[in-house]
């Protein structure tokens, strides 16, 4: 009898979390092996929403590619497009107008705030605080309105084109963004009151999902998740692009490396993004919103790489061109894929509820993982 | 017959006497049981539907939303529409599920809450059964529900359900202790387990005011523990939708799911009723000893209104809990019970006994 009991105790309880599951944020499948409530191993199975975007890009012109990179990490659509546009512009050697750089930087930061707000929503929901979800969505709505007014799109905008922007900003843009900065500075305090200081939330996240700096570097965990472990990986700071070299902002770093550190990094980044926008919004110079481009762009033969800081980490575009109007090969370095690879290290030996909290603190977007 | 909304005793006595005049004692008993059964069923369904509506409105109010507002004025018929939808839905049977246990699990859960409702005093004389171990009975039958939950999780042949059921078992059995002990604290103060006696004893001030510090501690512990016992947020680990999709009732559909759903709300109503009865005086109006005029005015409000009002306030507090806090983890939940609530509770019982022995309570 004792042997049977021991045998049962040593057996693993395999459970499929996903592809349809409320807290995998999309069609991600995690195969968990459990002993009781303790997670012994996590195996992510991706590919459920693989669309072959990299391959599709090989038969699309550079202007068309923009519409596909939108759909990778749809919450930082502007930022992904920024990378593609810059890669093409660098390859062609065009200098884009100052006005475009200002507008792109402001749009990027607005997208980052909106993305972090949605992360905050789902973070609360994954921990079981459903009210947080609605508070975050309430504050995200005005940003989407600002996007809609200028770009015509709310979630995916396809606003940037190689050489500039699709069209100029709406005349009300500056006023509405300034109003929003004042509005959100007040509202972000509510976030702290509702969730950041909550005892249950602190217990659920502090010391959970530890990732050391060395591990973060070896897995390539970037963005707020990497900076929560003390990995200085902010592309905006270390390889400035757009207007980032000319504005004052802090790179948020925390050394704990747990879920709470990743949470706090994102909270502080929202405030920092407001500061960046505030420095730029009044000084948008007059000028053209785009450079006159040929209808068919042909990149000179060669290989080009451009990286940007997306809301979830470093997003890179590698273009290999043979001098035709289509790229010969495109490789996208998506931040979520690398971040997901560290999940096993973080979740090993934790409880199921911790796995959900860790997943929430990594903030994965599945279309970005599968591409 | 005189019908008096301040005292239902003569009304129930009149029913009993007129039935006795008409038939033999055996048939009187059968008829009375049928009347009470129908009355409780109707009350149960009405309160359940109303609570679901109230919760949706309260959570909408907290979340910058409007809540149900399409079906009927202010959406008051929304829950009825939902119930009709659930009635018409297909009952999905799981392959390899234990059919018998799978079918009876929802009935066990809902029967447990039926049984508990019978012992609650709604107003003076409006009380289905009133006997000398009332509190003991309520605690006993309300903990039967965990059997239904465990059976549901086990018989579903689903891994999420099983984890949910095991969590629920650990949770309810643990928090049962705190619920029982905090009620025992009040039984020590009241000197009786009979619910009607407990209510009468609060005529000169509710126990939460007369019972000194131990009564307040017991009240807070009772609120926490009963939230956990009814599987409501922040202790809703048994369903934990972000972890276990729907926990123990993942595989249930249609009216069987509705039973679990309704039982959850009725359990909330029952714990709120008990809290109102034991700590806030049940149907007893608010009295301050010595203020005769004030007490008379308070007596003009019917006991039934007092009872409903107090219960509603406690239910509102429980709803605020659910919509504010994140969910605990299973080990934190058990730590809270075994390392904090239980020792405090044991100490509290001793403290209360000491206060009663010294005669320091009012």
What integer pLDDT is reported at residue A249 of this predicted model?
86
Chain A residue with minimal CA distance to B158? A15
CB contact under 8 A, A128 and B325: yes
User: What residues have CB less than 8 Å from B280, skipping those under 6 apart?
Assistant: B206, B207, B208, B310, B314
CA distances from B129 to A120, B111, B115, B135 (A): 50, 16, 10, 12
* CB-based contact A320:A328 (threshold 8 Å): yes
Phi, psi (degrees; rounded to nearest 5) at A15: -140, 140
What integer pLDDT is reported at residue B361 of this predicted model?
66
- Nearest CB among B62, B241, B329 relative to A351 is that of B329
Q: Where are the alpha helices (DSSP H) in chain B?
A: 9-22, 25-62, 78-88, 99-117, 134-142, 145-155, 159-190, 195-200, 207-210, 212-229, 241-244, 254-279, 292-300, 303-324, 330-335, 342-358
**Where is A85: in which H helix or E strand?**
helix A77-92
CB contacts < 8 A, A to B, total 82
What residues make up the domain containing B258?
91-358
Residue (of B40, B86, B80) closest to B249 by Cα position: B86
* CB-based contact A211:A345 (threshold 8 Å): yes
How far B274 CA sits from the closest chain A CA (Å)? Answer: 27
Chain A residue with minimal CA distance to B164? A37
For residue B142, being part of any structural domain is answered with yes
Q: Calculate what percentage of chain B has a pLDDT beyond 90.
A: 1
pLDDT of B319 higher than 70: yes
Tokens read off for B356: 């009663």
For residue B279, being part of any structural domain is answered with yes
Low-confidence residues in chain A, pLDDT < 70? 1-2, 4-5, 7-10
* CB-based contact A165:A289 (threshold 8 Å): yes
For residue B17, being part of any structural domain is answered with no
- Chain B residue set in contact with A, beta carbons under 8 Å: 59, 62-65, 159-160, 163, 167, 233-234, 236-237, 240-245, 323-332
For residue B300, being part of any structural domain is answered with yes
Average pLDDT over residues B260-285: 86
Mean pLDDT of chain B: 83
Owner of token pair 């049984």: B115
Question: What span, in angstroms and rounded, lies between the C-alpha atoms of A298 and A294?
Answer: 9
Residue (of A88, A109, A153) closest to A290 by Cα position: A88
What's the angle, vertex CA A118, arms to CA A115 and CA A122, rounded to 5? 140
Band of residue B99 on the pLDDT scale cut at 50, 70, 90: confident
CB contact under 8 A, B245 and A21: yes
For residue B177, being part of any structural domain is answered with yes
What integer pLDDT is reported at residue A318 of this predicted model?
92
Average pLDDT over residues B235-261: 79
For residue B68, being part of any structural domain is answered with no
- Nearest CB among A124, A134, A135 relative to B326 is that of A124
Chain B residue with minimal CA distance to A36? B163
The tens digit of pLDDT for each residue in B171-185 reads: 888 888 888 889 888
Question: What span, in angstroms and rounded, lies between the C-alpha atoms of A40 and B125?
Answer: 58
How far A134 CA sits from the closest chain B CA (Å)? Answer: 6
How far A202 CA sits from the closest chain B CA (Å)? Answer: 10
Question: What span, in angstroms and rounded, lies between the C-alpha atoms of A361 and A68?
Answer: 27
CB contact under 8 A, A13 and B159: yes
- Residues of chain B neighbouring A195 (CB-CB closer than 8 A): 326
User: What residues have CB less than 8 Å from A179, skipping those under 6 apart?
Assistant: none
Please tell me which residue, B343 or A293, carries the higher pLDDT value.
Answer: B343
CB contact under 8 A, B240 and A128: yes
What integer pLDDT is reported at residue B298 of this predicted model?
75
- Residues of chain B neighbouring A134 (CB-CB closer than 8 A): 63-65
How far A10 CA sits from the closest chain B CA (Å)? Answer: 17
**How many structural domains comprise chain B?**
1
For residue B38, being part of any structural domain is answered with no
How far B198 CA sits from the closest chain A CA (Å)? Answer: 36
Question: What span, in angstroms and rounded, lies between the C-alpha atoms of A360 and B4?
Answer: 58
How far A112 CA sits from the closest chain B CA (Å)? Answer: 24
CB contact under 8 A, A135 and B64: yes
Phi, psi (degrees; rounded to nearest 5) at B262: -65, -40
Give the three-state DSSP class for A321.
strand
* CB-based contact A167:A99 (threshold 8 Å): no
CB contact under 8 A, B242 and A200: no
- ipTM of this predicted complex? 0.78
How far A214 CA sits from the closest chain B CA (Å)? Answer: 29
What integer pLDDT is reported at residue B3 of this predicted model?
66
A21 in B contact zone (CB under 8 Å):
yes
pLDDT of B1 higher than 60: no
Average pLDDT over residues B46-64: 87
A206 in B contact zone (CB under 8 Å):
no
Interface test with B, best of A13, A18, A30, A130 (most B CBs within 10 A): A130
* CB-based contact B118:B273 (threshold 8 Å): no
For residue B161, being part of any structural domain is answered with yes
CB contact under 8 A, B62 and A138: no
**Where is A35: in which H helix or E strand?**
strand A29-35
User: What residues have CB less than 8 Å from B297, skipping those under 6 apart?
Assistant: none
What integer pLDDT is reported at residue A9 of this predicted model?
65
Question: What span, in angstroms and rounded, lies between the C-alpha atoms of A162 and A297?
Answer: 9
CB contact under 8 A, B64 and A37: no
Interface test with B, best of A131, A142, A202, A355 (most B CBs within 10 A): A131
The domains located in chain A, with CATH, are 49-342 (1.10.645.10)
């Amino acid at each position: 009898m004792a042997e049977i009991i021991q045998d049962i105790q040593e057996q693993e309880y395999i459970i499929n979390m996903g592809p349809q599951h409320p807290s995998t944020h999309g069609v991600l499948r995690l195969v968990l092996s459990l002993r009781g409530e303790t997670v012994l191993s996590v195996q992510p199975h991706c590919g459920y929403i693989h669309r072959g975007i990299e391959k599709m890009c090989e038969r699309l012109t550079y202007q068309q590619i923009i519409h596909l990179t939108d759909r990778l990490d749809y919450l930082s659509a502007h930022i992904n497009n920024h990378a593609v546009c810059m890669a093409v512009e660098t390859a062609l050697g065009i200098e884009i107008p100052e006005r475009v750089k200002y507008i792109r930087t402001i749009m990027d930061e607005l997208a980052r705030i909106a993305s972090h707000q949605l992360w905050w929503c789902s973070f609360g929901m994954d921990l079981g605080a459903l009210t947080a979800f609605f508070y975050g969505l309430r504050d995200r709505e005005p940003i989407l309105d600002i996007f809609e007014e200028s770009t015509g799109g709310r979630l995916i905008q396809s606003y940037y084109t190689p050489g500039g922007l699709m069209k100029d900003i709406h005349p009300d843009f500056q006023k509405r963004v300034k109003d929003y900065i004042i509005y959100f500075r007040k509202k972000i305090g509510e976030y702290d009151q509702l969730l950041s200081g909550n005892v249950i939330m602190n217990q659920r996240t502090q010391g959970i999902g530890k990732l050391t700096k060395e591990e973060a570097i070896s897995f390539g965990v970037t963005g707020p998740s990497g900076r929560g472990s003390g990995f200085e990986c902010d592309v905006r700071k270390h390889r400035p692009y757009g207007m980032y070299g000319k504005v004052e902002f802090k790179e948020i770093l925390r050394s704990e490396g747990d879920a709470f550190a990743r949470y706090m990094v994102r909270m502080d980044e929202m405030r920092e993004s407001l500061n960046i926008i505030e420095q730029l919004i009044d000084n948008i110079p007059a000028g053209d919103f785009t450079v006159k481009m040929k209808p068919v762009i042909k990149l000179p033969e060669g290989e080009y790489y451009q990286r940007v800081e997306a809301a979830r980490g470093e997003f890179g575009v590698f273009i290999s061109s043979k001098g035709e109007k289509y790229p010969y090969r495109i490789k996208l370095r998506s931040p979520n894929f690398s971040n997901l690879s560290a999940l096993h290290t973080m979740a090993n030996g934790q409880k199921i509820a911790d796995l959900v909290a860790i997943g929430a603190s990594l903030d994965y977007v599945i279309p970005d993982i599968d591409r | 017959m005189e019908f008096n909304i301040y005292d239902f005793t003569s009304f129930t006595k009149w029913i009993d006497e007129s039935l006795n005049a008409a038939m033999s004692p055996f048939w009187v008993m059968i008829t009375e049981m049928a009347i009470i059964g129908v009355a409780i069923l109707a009350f149960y369904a009405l309160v359940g539907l109303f609570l679901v509506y109230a919760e949706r409105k309260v959570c909408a109010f907290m979340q910058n939303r409007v809540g149900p507002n399409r079906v009927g004025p202010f959406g008051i018929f929304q829950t009825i529409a939902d119930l009709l939808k659930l009635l018409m839905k297909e009952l999905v049977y799981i392959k390899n599920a234990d059919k018998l246990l799978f079918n009876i699990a929802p009935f066990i859960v809902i029967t447990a809450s039926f049984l508990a409702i019978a012992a609650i005093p709604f107003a003076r004389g409006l009380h289905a059964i009133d006997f000398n171990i009332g509190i003991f009975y309520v605690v006993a039958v309300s903990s039967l529900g965990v059997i239904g939950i465990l059976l549901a999780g086990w018989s579903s042949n689903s891994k999420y359900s099983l984890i949910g059921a095991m969590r629920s078992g650990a949770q309810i059995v643990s928090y049962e202790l705190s619920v029982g002990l905090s009620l025992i604290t009040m039984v020590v103060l009241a000197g009786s387990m009979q619910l009607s006696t407990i209510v009468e004893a609060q005529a000169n001030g509710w126990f939460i005011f007369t019972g000194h510090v131990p009564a307040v501690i017991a009240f807070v512990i009772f609120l926490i523990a009963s939230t956990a016992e009814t599987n409501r947020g922040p202790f809703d680990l048994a369903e934990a939708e972000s972890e276990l999709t729907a926990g123990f009732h993942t595989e249930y559909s249609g009216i069987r799911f509705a039973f679990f759903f309704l039982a959850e709300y009725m359990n909330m109503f029952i714990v709120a009723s008990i809290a109102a009865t034991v700590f806030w005086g049940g149907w007893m109006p608010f009295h301050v000893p010595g203020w005769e005029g004030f007490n008379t005015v308070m007596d003009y409000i019917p006991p039934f209104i007092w009872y409903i009002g107090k219960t509603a306030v406690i239910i509102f507090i429980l709803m605020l809990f659910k919509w504010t806090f994140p969910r605990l983890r299973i080990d934190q939940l058990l730590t809270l019970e075994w390392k904090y609530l239980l020792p405090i509770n044991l100490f509290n019982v001793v403290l209360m006994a000491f206060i009663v022995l010294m005669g320091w309570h009012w």
